[in-house]
């Protein structure tokens, strides 16, 4: 029986099974069908998703992201940092700055090196999408900022941002006294979000520092979310709560996000390799 090689990587604890599909040429449906078993932390390798490398049309490599439930995500900020490091360390790219194609378009990545060792990865995540019809959010065309929403009888305010994938950002006084996982699951599947949504719960520490807990679409609670961190900063800057650059503290660690209206969001953070292995096809 043939074996498929993989590398386990993580960005701030948001972990992925990275597979070079250029070697195997398998259909996306194969990985979608295997995602739940491979990502299972008791009966599989254990991960928040699969990162599958394919040949790109607009850049040399295309990054495909499969959630544990088999659904496909358009973009993942932590995964793209992991992939960038993986490509560099295997000499599949020769420049510190290069392009990667994703389901949310082509992204520019820059490796921050010490000697030849990757210390961090900076990614131009592109400009956020703020039109409700493009995020998408149900209802009339609008910019969704501090809009009222009821969850389990509680009235909350949310802002919607797309960083290539949809996000529902909720600022709260404290993260300690809310059932954020239960709310996250409910909001992910709320009819207000036709393609479901990621959900970020945000506690402001000061204008340039926040604490965030993440419920990811198709994955549930994760230790970090790069696109979510960008969405938080966009929503915070637009509402006057935050001032760029912002230190985004997630359960798995910290990302630095820089964004001003009219520009692309710049994300800087680490990417780590955990181990290599293989599984039976």
DSSP 236-262: HHHTTS--SSEEEEETTEEEEEE--TT
225 a catalytic residue: yes
Antiparallel, parallel or unpaired: β 50-55 and 14-20: parallel
In contact, 73 and 48? CB cutoff 8 Å? no
CA distance 184 to 225: 14
Nearest to 201 by CA among 192, 193, 182, 218: 182
76 a catalytic residue: yes
Nearest to 63 by CA among 48, 50, 46: 50
Q: From the candidates 39, 76, 82, 230, which is the catalytic residue?
A: 76
In contact, 39 and 46? CB cutoff 8 Å? yes
Q: Indicate the DSSP class of residue 143.
A: B
CB atoms within 10 A of CB 263: 13
Q: From the candidates 39, 82, 168, 225, which is the catalytic residue?
A: 225
What distance, in Å, lies between the first and last C-alpha atoms of the chain?
7
- Per DSSP, what are the bridge partners of residue 100? 107
HSE-CB at 157 with a 13 A cutoff on CA atoms is 10
Residues with active-site annotation: 76, 225
């Amino acid at each position: 029986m043939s074996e498929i090689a993989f590398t386990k990587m993580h960005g701030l604890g948001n972990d992925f099974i990275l597979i070079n599909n250029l070697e195997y040429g398998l259909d996306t449906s194969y990985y979608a069908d295997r995602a739940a078993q491979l990502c299972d932390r008791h009966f599989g390798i254990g991960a928040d998703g699969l990162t599958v490398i394919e040949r790109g049309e607009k850049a040399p490599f295309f990054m495909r992201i499969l959630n544990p439930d088999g659904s496909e995500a358009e973009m993942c900020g932590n995964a793209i940092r992991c992939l960038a490091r993986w490509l560099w360390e295997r000499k599949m790219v020769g420049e510190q700055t290069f392009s990667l194609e994703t389901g949310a378009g082509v992204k520019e990545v820059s490796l921050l090196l010490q000697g030849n060792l990757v210390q961090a990865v900076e990614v131009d995540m592109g400009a956020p999408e703020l039109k409700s019809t493009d995020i998408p959010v149900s209802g009339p065309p609008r910019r969704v900022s501090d809009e009222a929403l009821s969850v389990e009888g509680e009235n909350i305010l949310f802002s919607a941002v797309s960083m290539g994938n949809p996000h529902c950002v909720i600022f709260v006084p404290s993260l300690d006294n809310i059932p954020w996982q239960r709310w996250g699951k409910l909001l992910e599947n709320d009819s207000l979000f036709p393609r479901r949504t990621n959900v970020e719960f945000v506690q402001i520490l000061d204008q340039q520092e926040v604490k965030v807990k993440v419920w990811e679409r198709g994955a549930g609670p994760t230790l970090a979310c790069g696109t979510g961190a960008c969405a938080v900063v966009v929503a915070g800057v637009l509402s006057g709560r935050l001032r760029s650059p912002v230190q985004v503290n997630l359960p798995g660690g910290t990302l630095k996000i820089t964004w001003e209206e009219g520009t692309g969001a710049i994300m800087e953070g680490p990417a780590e390799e955990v181990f290599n292995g293989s599984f039976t096809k």
